[in-house]
Amino acid sequence: MATITTQAPAAVPVTEARPALWRRVPTGVLFTLPFLLFYAAFLIWPTISAFGLSFFNESLTGTRGELVGLRNWTEMLGDAAMWSALGNTLYFTVLSTPPLVLLGLVMALLTNRVMPLRWLWRLSFFMPFLLPASVMSLIWLWLYQPGFGLLNGALTSLGISEVGWLSDPSLAMISVVIATLWWTVGFNFLLYLAALQQIPEQLYEAASIDGAGWWQRLWSITLPMLGRTTGLVIVLQLLASLRLFDQAYLIYQGSGGPAFSARPVLEYVYDTAFTSFRFGYASAISSFFFVLIVVVSVTQLKLFPSRREDER
């Protein structure tokens, strides 16, 4: 009987359809597209629009005012009130940045060690950062009050005369700095604490075997390993201090403090736009301040290079 052999048909190659255009877009771009749209709509476009308004005599009605060219910019350069507000902002930045960095580091070093109720200390250090600016300002407004305020009450109990925390022009900005320290140091503390937990414990064990004490381990291991975190904290803190507005405005209830000694530049922009209704002039000041922040940011990037640049 003849055997019939059947041969399987050759496999027909399947030609894949050309992927659609949206499939050729990298997945990361698709995930970040919503953020990019919001970023362009609520940051890039307002920045460009504000720069354009600085060349017009814009009013609150929203209609395009008279084209004044560089008149707003020349007026801004000769405005003593604007330079005073800018000086207050820089003064606050200089006063607040070093203690916020150092206190955050010290608090992280304390709570990173094995101690009773360590979680409670960490929580208490970070909790003030979660408070809204209005609540924080109200707390310190009561603490600074003469007569019945806690701070002046403690001073009088020690035989020291009361201090005009809110009425003395020389102390007005210092009062804002103290309140800001208590309010925002928890963020820097959290960054330092996370960085400390990433340091390998073997380094400390090897240093202890070699006879290194706590101070030697701190200066030879901890601080060098925290170099990048310190750079990040300084950059973020400088940018945050330059954008001072909420606490200064709320503590002094929009008055700018005694003799405007605690009025930052952003509050001056707010007063110019929504009290004097000079949107064009306020846009010129805000654009100038934006350029200043960009210069500070670029300078910080040069001072604190990225990891790739360090590895080269």
What residues are paired with 66 via a beta bridge? 57
pLDDT band at 14 (very low <50, low <70, confident <90, very high): very low
pLDDT band at 302 (very low <50, low <70, confident <90, very high): confident
What are the tens digits of pLDDT across the range 121-135? 899 999 999 999 999
Residue 205's pLDDT is: 86
Residue 25's pLDDT is: 67
Residue 212's pLDDT is: 82
Residue 215's pLDDT is: 87
Residue at 233 is within a domain: yes
Would you give the DSSP letter of residue 276?
S
Domain with 88, as residue range(s), is 81-133+164-311
199 has a pLDDT exceeding 80: yes
The Cα–Cα gap between 166 and 163 comes to: 9
Instruction: Give me the CATH number covering residue 295.
Output: 1.10.3720.10
Q: Write phi, then psi, for 54 (nearest 5 degrees).
A: -65, -15
Residue at 153 is within a domain: no
Residue at 48 is within a domain: no
Residue whose token pair is 């801004």? 76
What are the tens digits of pLDDT across the range 267-289? 999 999 988 888 899 999 999 99
Residue 309's pLDDT is: 46
Residue at 140 is within a domain: no
Residue 22's pLDDT is: 56
Q: Write phi, then psi, for 56 (nearest 5 degrees).
A: -125, 160
User: What's the average model confidence in pLDDT over 224-246?
Assistant: 92
Min mean pLDDT across 28-42, 130-144, 246-260, 271-285 is at 28-42
User: What's the average model confidence in pLDDT over 129-142?
Assistant: 94
Residue at 156 is within a domain: no
What residues are paired with 310 via a beta bridge? none
The total of structural domains in the chain comes to 1
Residue 15's pLDDT is: 46
The Cα–Cα gap between 226 and 219 comes to: 11
Residue at 1 is within a domain: no
Would you give the DSSP letter of residue 113?
S
Residue at 305 is within a domain: yes
Residue 61's pLDDT is: 64
Residue 81's pLDDT is: 95
Instruction: Write down the mean pLDDT value for the chain.
Output: 86
Residue 18's pLDDT is: 47
Indicate the helix (H) or strand (E) that contains 67.
Answer: strand 66-67
What are the tens digits of pLDDT across the range 161-181? 889 999 999 999 999 999 999
Q: Residues near 290 by Cβ (< 8 Å), separated by ≥ 6? A: 47
The Cα–Cα gap between 288 and 272 comes to: 15
Residue at 257 is within a domain: yes
Indicate the helix (H) or strand (E) that contains 56.
Answer: strand 56-57
Min mean pLDDT across 17-21, 188-192, 295-299, 308-312 is at 308-312
